[in-house]
Structure 1
Amino acid sequence: MEFFKYKNQLKPEKGRLLISEPFLPDPNFERTVVLLCEHNEEGSFGFVINKPSILKLSEVMEDIHLDDVVFVGGPVQQDTLHFLHRNTSIENAVKICNDIYWGGDFENLMTALDTSSLKSADLRFYLGYSGWGPGQLEKELEDDSWIVCDFVSDELLFDTNPTDIWKKALDNMGGRFSVYSNYPVDPRLN
C-alpha cells in the first residue's frame, strides 16, 4: 500500500534516529529507536535507546555499585558495554549530536559519578550495539523498515521513559508520523 511507504526524505547520518516502522517483523528491532553514532561507506552503527534489559549495571560489572538499568544496544557483540552521556568533561568522549556523547575514559566517568559532577540520570549503559555492513542500511531504508528522523535531543534520550521514546519520536515528527505512533502493536486486536 502506498500509504505505508515512508519515502525517507532524510538520509541516515551520525546523530540521526532510525525509528522502526510500526510493523517491522524483526523481534530485535520491533518498535525501536536507534541513535546512529556513525554512518559511512563502510557501514553504520548505533544503539537502540528504548529497550531496557532486565540487568542492572552492578550485575554486569562487579566493581560498580550502580543499580541503573542496562539497555540492550542491539544484537551485535552483546558481551560489550557502551555508554552514552550528556557530560562535556568526560575525556575522549565522542560528540554524537547536541548534548549527547558516546564513550570516553571509563575511569574519568566513574570519578565524575563519585564526585556527583555526573548524575546517573545523565548516563545510559548499553550491552551490544546495532550494526550494518556497507549498503545494508540503505537496503533496509529502500524496504521501508526504518524512518529517518533528525529530531534528536538529550531530553528524548535521557529524560523520556524508554517505553515512550518510539511514540514520542514519531509524534515529534508530526503529520502522518503522529498517526503511525498510535498504531496498535497487533492491529488484529484493535
Structure 2
Amino acid sequence: MVADAPDLDGRLLVASPALGDERFARTVVLLLHHGDDGAFGVVLNRPLPVRVDAVLPAWQEVVAAPGRLFQGGPVGLDGALGLVTLPDGGDLHPGVSRLAGPFGVVDLDSDPGQGPLGVTGVRIFAGHSGWAAGQLEDEIAAGDWYVLEADPADATTPQPDALWRRVLRRQGGAMAIVSTFPPDPSLN
C-alpha cells in the first residue's frame, strides 16, 4: 500500500460495469483487511444453493436470512468464514473478533448455543476474495471498482441479489444512474 493510500478496511468494493472479470461481475465485496501485504474480503451478494446446516448444522439457527452459504470469492473455497455485524461498544463473545468498524469474524468451531454471541447478524462464506500487494489499488485506478461506505446491514441483507443496485442507488447522482445499467449493455 502506498504511504498516502487510504485504509479501506470495512469499505465496500462495488464492481463497475467496466469490470472484465466475470467472477466479480456486479459484486459487492466487503473489505476486511487492506494493507501493505494486499487485501482480503468477501463477496456479499453471491448466495449458494446450499443451506448452512448442510456443512455447519449448529449455525443454521443463528445465520441471517436467507440461511444459505455465500461464495465469498474464488480463493480458499474449501474453507469457511463466519462474518458478523457487531453493535457499538459492549463486550464481545469470546469466539468473536472485531476486524473493521462494525464487522468481525466468529470462530465457527465455537458453539453458537453457548450463550449470546453479542452480534446483530451472522453470515457464513465459503471462500474469500484476495488481492496481492498493489493489485487492488491498480484495479481501482483502472476503474474496475467503486470504493464506497458500507452500511452494517449490507453484510446480512435478506435480499443479497438486489445489493449491487441498492448500494449504487443510495449514493445518488451518477452512481444511481449506474445502478440502472443492464447486465449486458449489448441487449439494450
TM range (shorter): 0.7 to 0.9
Distance in 2, Cα, partners of 1:75 & 1:136 = 16
Tell me by how many angstroms 1:86 deviates: 2.4
Q: 2:92 aligns with which of 89, 93, 99?
A: 89
Name which of structure 1's ranges 76-85 and 10-19 shifts more when overlaid on structure 2.
Answer: 10-19
Name which of structure 1's ranges 88-97 and 127-136 shifts more when overlaid on structure 2.
Answer: 88-97
- Give 2:58's aligned amino acid: I
Tell me by how many angstroms 1:173 deviates: 1.7
Q: What is the TM-score with the length of structure 2 in the denominator?
A: 0.82
Residue 50 of structure 2 corresponds to which residue in structure 1? 55
Tell me by how many angstroms 1:160 deviates: 4.6
- Give 2:21's aligned amino acid: D
Runs of 5+ consecutive residues of structure 2 not aligned to the other structure: 62-66
Tell me by how many angstroms 1:89 deviates: 3.3
- Give 1:170's aligned amino acid: L
Tell me by how many angstroms 1:128 deviates: 0.5
- Give 1:153's aligned amino acid: D
Whether the 8 Å contact between 1:13 and 1:39 is mirrored in structure 2 is: yes
Residue 20 of structure 2 corresponds to which residue in structure 1? 25
Distance in 1, Cα, partners of 2:144 & 2:10 = 19
Whether the 8 Å contact between 2:96 and 2:117 is mirrored in structure 1 is: no
Alignment of 1:109-148 (within 5 A): 110-111=112-113, 117=116, 122-148=121-147
Task: Sort the Cα spacing of 1:12 and 1:143 in 2 relative to 1 into closer, same or farther, 3 A.
Answer: farther
Distance in 2, Cα, partners of 1:12 & 1:47 = 17
Whether the 8 Å contact between 1:90 and 1:105 is mirrored in structure 2 is: no
Name which of structure 1's ranges 36-45 and 85-94 shifts more when overlaid on structure 2.
Answer: 85-94
Alignment of 1:73-84 (within 5 A): 73-84=72-83
Whether the 8 Å contact between 1:22 and 1:181 is mirrored in structure 2 is: no
Alignment of 1:166-185 (within 5 A): 166-185=164-183
Tell me by how many angstroms 1:180 deviates: 0.4
Tell me by how many angstroms 1:188 deviates: 1.9
Tell me by how many angstroms 1:12 deviates: 5.4
* Identity in percent: 30
Q: What is the TM-score with the length of structure 1 in the denominator?
A: 0.81
Task: Sort the Cα spacing of 1:54 and 1:131 in 2 relative to 1 into closer, same or farther, 3 A.
Answer: same
Distance in 1, Cα, partners of 2:27 & 2:43 = 6
Whether the 8 Å contact between 1:121 and 1:158 is mirrored in structure 2 is: no
Alignment of 1:66 with 2:69, yes or no, is no
Q: 1:103 aligns with which of 84, 101, 106?
A: 106
Report SS of the residue matched to 1:139. Answer: helix
CA RMSD of aligned residues (A): 2.4
Task: Sort the Cα spacing of 1:153 and 1:96 in 2 relative to 1 into closer, same or farther, 3 A.
Answer: farther
Tell me by how many angstroms 1:100 deviates: 2.4
Runs of 5+ consecutive residues of structure 1 not aligned to the other structure: 1-9
